[in-house]
């Protein structure tokens, strides 16, 4: 009961501010003062507690829950709108965002494919399709066609330009460069040690022959 009384007083404050607003300077001042008062009240412990109690009420929850169809339709319209398309276009131009998005989609696609490969019904459908002579003929014609070659070239180009592929390729090249650098150091050290050994043996041989001539 206490929480509803608190909210009732809060509502009265808002209504009084709106009704007394008008177009005068004093009305505007009253509105600003009331707004500040309401904000200050909401920041207090009692205000926070009242809002939490109201939001935890089951009846209030059921009224606040939005229809799933409305949410889906709103999201779809937002994503397909001109502003939405522009937002995604700019977002995918960012290499970090594109890489993160590719990674998240990659995991989902891999999981879906693995689940399908484990499905006996899917396996049977694939085997039947591959054994079909007509499908084999069409597949061969497609693989030999100019359109497929152009498509394959496009896919390869897109793969090379993919942020995820670039990141992996960069890691591989850096790793290979590090291994080559480490290998060069070890080979240089071994060649220096063998050269010093040969020089030492030559010096000992020269001193031995000199002693024999005496």
Q: What does the pLDDT read at residue 117?
A: 84
22 Rama class: left (phi>0) / alpha (psi -120 to 50) / beta: left
Question: Which pLDDT value is given to residue 213?
Answer: 45
What parts of the chain have a pLDDT lower than 70?
1-29, 31, 60-72, 75, 79, 184-214
What pLDDT digit, counting tens, does each position of 144-173 carry?
Answer: 888 878 888 888 888 888 888 888 888 888
Residue 94 confidence (pLDDT): 76
Helix (H) / strand (E) element for 96: namely: helix 95-118
pLDDT recorded at residue 64:
62
What's the pLDDT score for residue 17?
52
Domain boundaries, the chain: 2-65, 82-166
Distances (CA, A) of 61 to 6, 53, 55, 68, 117: 19, 11, 7, 15, 43
pLDDT at 52: 78
């Amino acid at each position: 009961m206490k929480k509803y009384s608190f909210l009732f007083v809060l509502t009265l404050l808002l209504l009084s501010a709106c009704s007394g607003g008008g177009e005068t300077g004093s009305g505007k001042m009253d509105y600003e003062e009331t707004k500040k008062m309401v904000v200050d009240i909401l920041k207090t412990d009692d205000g926070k507690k009242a809002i939490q109690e109201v939001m935890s009420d089951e009846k209030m929850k059921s009224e606040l829950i939005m229809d799933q169809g409305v949410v889906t339709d709103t999201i779809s319209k937002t994503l397909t709108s001109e502003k939405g398309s522009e937002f995604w276009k700019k977002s995918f131009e960012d290499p970090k965002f594109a890489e993160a998005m590719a990674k998240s989609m990659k995991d989902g696609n891999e999981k879906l494919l693995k689940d399908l490969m484990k499905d006996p019904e899917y396996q049977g459908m694939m085997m039947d399709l591959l054994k079909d002579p007509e499908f084999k003929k069409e597949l061969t014609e497609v693989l030999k066609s100019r359109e497929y070659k152009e498509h394959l070239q496009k896919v390869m180009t897109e793969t090379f330009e993919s942020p995820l592929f670039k990141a992996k390729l960069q890691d591989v090249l850096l790793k290979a460069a590090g291994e080559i650098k480490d290998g060069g150091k070890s080979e240089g050290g071994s060649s220096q040690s063998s050269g010093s050994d040969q020089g030492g043996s030559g010096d000992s041989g020269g001193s031995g022959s000199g002693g024999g001539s005496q």
